[in-house]
Structure 1
Amino acid sequence: MGKVRNILQVKGHAVYSIKPDNTVYEALQQLVDHNIGALTVTDDQNNVLGIFSERDYARRVMLKGRTSKETLIREIMTENPFTVSEEDSIEACMELMTDKHIRHLPVIDDKNRLIGLISIGDVVKYIIDDQRQIINSLEGYIKGTHI
């Protein structure tokens, strides 16, 4: 099984972030502009403070009767999100995401700085592609065409 770095090699390290003092409206605009489901919330040193997702908006703004133009990210973000490193296994990420019911994992370096973000979709895609390669290799072995 692969490592988080394998996903980031394909996906890239680009991450969209927002500061805790930005409004929810500004965050929603970024989600729409980039067609993504979550933003990391970082400080000026690129340390992860939290994560803001569509789920946070639905549960902590809409359903609470708040307004997105007046509510700050710091008020509704998910603080201290689970994080992973590039060396963590894809299998461990899948277990963590499944057990904790989370869809996004910030990837941090050894200095706790944000270097990437993986989603449940990225993990599932990696696992499917990996299994497809194994199946193709086994089929080649059985047919005698395996190199």
Structure 2
Amino acid sequence: MGKVRNILETKKTAPVVIHPDNTVFEALELMFEKNIGALLVMEQEKFVGIFTERDYARKVILKGKASKEIMVSEIMTQNPITVSSDTSIEDCMSMMTDKFIRHLPVIDNELLIGIISIGDVVKYIIEDQKYIIGNLEHFITGI
């Protein structure tokens, strides 16, 4: 099984970030524009949290707050679970399913280097299985 670095190598875009002092509304606009479900929250060069659709649904909408008046810093998830580029894909899948999370920021040497989603992990596993099956078929048939 592969490592997180294998997923990051296939991603064509840089992680999308937002400042903690931006409004939740601005964060939602950015998420809509980029068609993503999470933003990494950065203050200068420091990773300080993650803002997800779930944060919005549970901490803004359900509490009757206004997205144009509340700051990302007020509802973001601080100190989220993170992984390194050396973490195995299998460990990521376990963390995501056990903790009911959909996004894992990737931190190496205290620096944010990316983010992976449950979709990235599933896609990698499917492609890996296709590759293994293809090799086995080739081995069996000798073609």
Q: TM-score range by the shorter chain?
A: over 0.9
User: In 2, are the aligned partners of 1:13 and 1:117 still within 8 Å (CA)?
Assistant: no
Structure 1 segments (4+ residues) deviating >4 Å: none
Q: Give the RMSD, CA atoms, in angstroms.
A: 0.9
In the other structure, the counterpart of 1:115 is 113
Aligned-partner residue type, residue 16 of structure 1 = V
Return the alpha-carbon distance in structure 1 between the equivalents of residues 84 and 54 of structure 2: 24
Structure 2, unmatched stretches of 5+, are none
User: In 2, are the aligned partners of 1:25 and 1:68 still within 8 Å (CA)?
Assistant: yes
Return the alpha-carbon distance in structure 2 between the equivalents of residues 75 and 43 of structure 1: 14
Q: Percent identity?
A: 62
TM-score by length of 2: 0.97
Give, in angstroms, the shift of residue 12 of structure 1.
3.9
Return the alpha-carbon distance in structure 2 between the equivalents of residues 39 and 143 of structure 1: 47
Aligned-partner residue type, residue 140 of structure 1 = H
**Residues 126-137 of structure 1: matches in 2 within 5 Å?**
126-137=124-135
Return the alpha-carbon distance in structure 2 between the equivalents of residues 124 and 48 of structure 1: 25
Query: Per-residue displacement from partner, 1:119-145 (whole Å, max 9, x unpaired)?
Result: 000000000000010011111111112
In the other structure, the counterpart of 1:51 is 50
**Residues 1-147 of structure 1: matches in 2 within 5 Å?**
1-12=1-12, 14-45=14-45, 47-110=46-109, 112-145=110-143
SS of the aligned residue for 2:63 comes to: coil
Aligned length: 143
Give, in angstroms, the shift of residue 109 of structure 1.
1.5
Aligned-partner residue type, residue 121 of structure 1 = G
Query: Per-residue displacement from partner, 1:15-48 (whole Å, max 9, x unpaired)?
Result: 1011111100010010011010000111102x22
Return the alpha-carbon distance in structure 2 between the equivalents of residues 113 and 97 of structure 1: 21
TM-score by length of 1: 0.94
Aligned-partner residue type, residue 36 of structure 1 = I
